[in-house]
C-alpha cells in the first residue's frame, strides 16, 4: 500500500538526500491550500520536490515527516508505527518550512 493523506491532512516525508516527497494531486486526495503553500515555499527555497505516492517502508526510512492542514500548518511526525524517525524530534527542514509558512501567514494578515 501507499501513504497518501490523513483524514483531513496531507502527508510529506523528507528523504536522506533532502528530497521532499508528497502525493501528487488527483481526485483521490485532498487538495489542501496549506499543501499548495508548503510546496510553493519549498520551490522558493530550492528544495527538490517529488510528487508521488510513497510506501510505509519509505516513510520508516525518512529522516523527517510532517503533515499539513489548515489548523496545524506543518506538524512534525516523529514516530510511525512505533518506529522513531531520525532523532525523535522535529527535523531541520520541517522546522524551517513551518517557520516560513507562519511568516507567510503573518505577512498576509499584515497586508
Predicted local confidence at residue 97, as pLDDT = 96
Give the model confidence (pLDDT) of 76-99 as tens digits: 999 999 999 988 999 999 999 999
Compute the C-alpha angle 27/32/33, nearest 5°: 135
The answer, yes or no, to whether residue 43 has pLDDT greater than 70, is yes
Q: Which residue has the higher pLDDT, 21 or 5?
A: 21
Report all structural domains of the chain as residue ranges with CATH numbers, in order of start. 10-110 (3.20.10.10)
The answer, yes or no, to whether residue 14 has pLDDT greater than 70, is yes
Q: How confident is the model at residue 32 (pLDDT cuts 50, 70, 90)?
A: confident
| Closest to 74 measured CA to CA, from 60, 91, 87 | 91
Own/partner long-range contacts of 73-79 (Cβ < 8 Å, ≥24 apart) = 73/34, 73/98, 73/101, 73/102, 73/105, 74/12, 74/34, 74/38, 74/98, 74/101, 75/9
Amino acid at each position: 500500500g501507499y501513504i497518501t493523506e490523513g483524514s483531513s491532512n496531507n502527508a510529506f516525508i523528507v528523504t536522506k538526500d533532502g528530497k521532499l516527497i508528497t502525493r501528487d494531486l488527483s481526485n483521490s486526495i485532498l487538495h489542501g491550500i496549506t499543501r499548495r503553500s508548503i510546496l510553493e515555499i519549498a520551490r522558493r527555497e530550492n528544495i527538490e520536490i517529488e510528487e508521488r505516492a510513497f510506501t510505509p517502508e519509505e516513510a520508516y526510512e525518512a529522516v523527517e515527516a510532517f503533515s499539513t492542514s489548515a489548523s496545524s500548518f506543518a506538524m512534525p511526525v516523529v514516530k510511525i508505527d512505533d518506529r522513531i524517525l531520525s532523532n525523535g524530534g522535529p527535523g531541520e527542514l520541517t522546522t524551517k518550512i513551518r517557520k516560513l509558512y507562519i511568516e507567510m501567514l503573518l505577512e498576509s494578515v499584515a497586508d
